[in-house]
Structure 1
Amino acid sequence: MRTLAKEAPALLVLGALAAAPWLGFGESWALTLLARAMILAMAAVSLSFLVGGAGLVSLGHAAMLGFGAYAVVILDDAQIVEAWVVLPVAITAAAGFALVTGAVAIRTSGVHFIMITLAFGQMAYFTATSLSGYGGDDGYTLYARTELGGSRILSDRLSFHFICLGALTLTWLVCRMLLASRFGRVLRAVRGNPLRAQALGFSPYPYRLLAYVIAGGLAGAAGFLFANATEFVAPAYIAWQRSGELLFMVILGGIGGLHGALLGAFGFVLLEEVLSHQWEHWRIAFGVLLILAVLYLPGGLAGLPAQLARRRGGG
């Protein structure tokens, strides 16, 4: 019963998304916005798996997203557009980058880990800007969305909505199952006290590295969907600012559970959408609101009901 109550916010969000097309969100602009939010939520959930589960705060997570997106670009340029080929390549490319860079970064911790992931992310960004064959700094426009079994189901907005919802649900379930498994318990033990975990016979390095690779592969899947959602890929997808946004989504939602990343991603996208239509210099107001959220929502959006209940009880 306690587990069901803990997962209720995530189930409510996913259920609302399933019903959204019939609750006034069936217009093309609304489906496009929801698809973007769901894809970013996938990346945020995979990052929350790292931050909350393994205690690894990465500022290079957008690079995994970018590797998945650029896998779509490279195969699109080669006229390979079958999803059963493109998606595994996108996941493998992102997971491979995570494996190579994580092998170095996982040897550090704290601020050093943050800075190394930031450096690797920026290396990926500048590499993407140098790919003149794929648009360089100007980006690359896909010829068409990826096909699935020869059909263009990803081009239909309603179908794409449910594909994104299915991918988000699967990402959340995979991360939840991993955290609830023996592997997840070891990760949390290593996060709490690495020396004690090592004394018990669990070497922190391989567990953390595997978690980093899994999170990278999930972000690569999000990159595959992101490229198809926008039909355009640019190096800006890999920039450290995008990594910062993903990290803030996790913090805004609350790092106490994966459902926090879901709430944070949708809160972030909604706030960005509303402010950008109200004021030309909306990023100023956006920054102020984000600071206020960090200061006055220590438990994130997921912890808001409990915070309000404590205040009512104290009053």
Structure 2
Amino acid sequence: MSDAPSTLVIVPAGKMGHEVQCVGVAEALGATPDILRVTLRPPWSWLAPHGPAQPSLSHHIATDADLVLASGRQAIPLARAIARRQSPRPLVVAIQAPRTNPADFDLVWANTHDRLSGPNVITSVTSPNRLTKDGLAVAAAHLRARLPDLPTPWVGVLVGGTSQSYRFGPDEAAALGDALATFAARHDVSLVITPSRRTGEDNVDVLEARLAATPHWIWRGEGDNPLFGIYGGADAFVVTCDSVNMIGEASFTGKPILAWPLPGGRAKFGRFHEAMVAHGAMRWFDGTWPAASYPSFDTTAAVAAAIRERLLEAPGGNAPGQNAGAGFSRKPARP
């Protein structure tokens, strides 16, 4: 395929994790996607992902895109309706396990820890993202210019928060802060810290108080998000164990990762952590320097390559998920 596919991304409104993964794949294909952020009303929201597409979104079924990337429970009904169109229609790809029959789509990507399988399913330990080596180098230079007085080397600290599976409150923030202060003093490093939306301002206050005597900088929402600069500029990472995305993104760099345990957990998180440890990308925090060397993960490029292959295959058949290229037909390449 010599030209980038015109791409429609369908994601639930406000779910940046879903959007980032889809947009990252689109960008790896050279596409600038149109993004449709959907918010379903009852009863359609109650029925998703198994129910039909909300009627008010039906006009999107006739999209003339070459490729549709969909992620998230609310996005699945519309993507499935597009996949059921008669040929010619777009190639329809579900990014993340769709919680429905993967045969409803032409291609499905899912994390290995989701234990999803099928002839049109591809899996990987980590998730797609928007990271590139050049982008991280530029972001790192910007962050160094932003923090000229913070001594190097830096350790990036990526803090999640309370979720359905984990708890992060004042006690957990205090314990993390104390451990980071000891770690920074022991290894003579500065800490560059970014909390997430789930961390909570009160917990960030607790963490910052515990680091009063430690060279550090915490992003409190002022200015651009420094996350990419931290990935590019830090020599190692401490990441709370609740976030598959943050640990996975850190592993794109090939730099060592220390995971900080939190109360709670689920079996699928355990499988993810075990796979990261087995790969050599992650160790559990024990206060020692995380010396490690491992092949970095570039899931985005792998998913994009699989999609590109499907787009290049000869169309045929009349239903998604049966054969490679089944049920869709690309429009002629644009000049």
- TM bin, normalised by shorter chain, reads under 0.3
- Per residue, is there more helix in 1 or in 2? 1
* Larger fraction in strand: 2
Q: Which has the higher contact order (CA 8 A, sep 6+)?
A: 1
TM-score, normalised with respect to structure 2: 0.23
Normalised by the length of structure 1, the TM-score is: 0.24
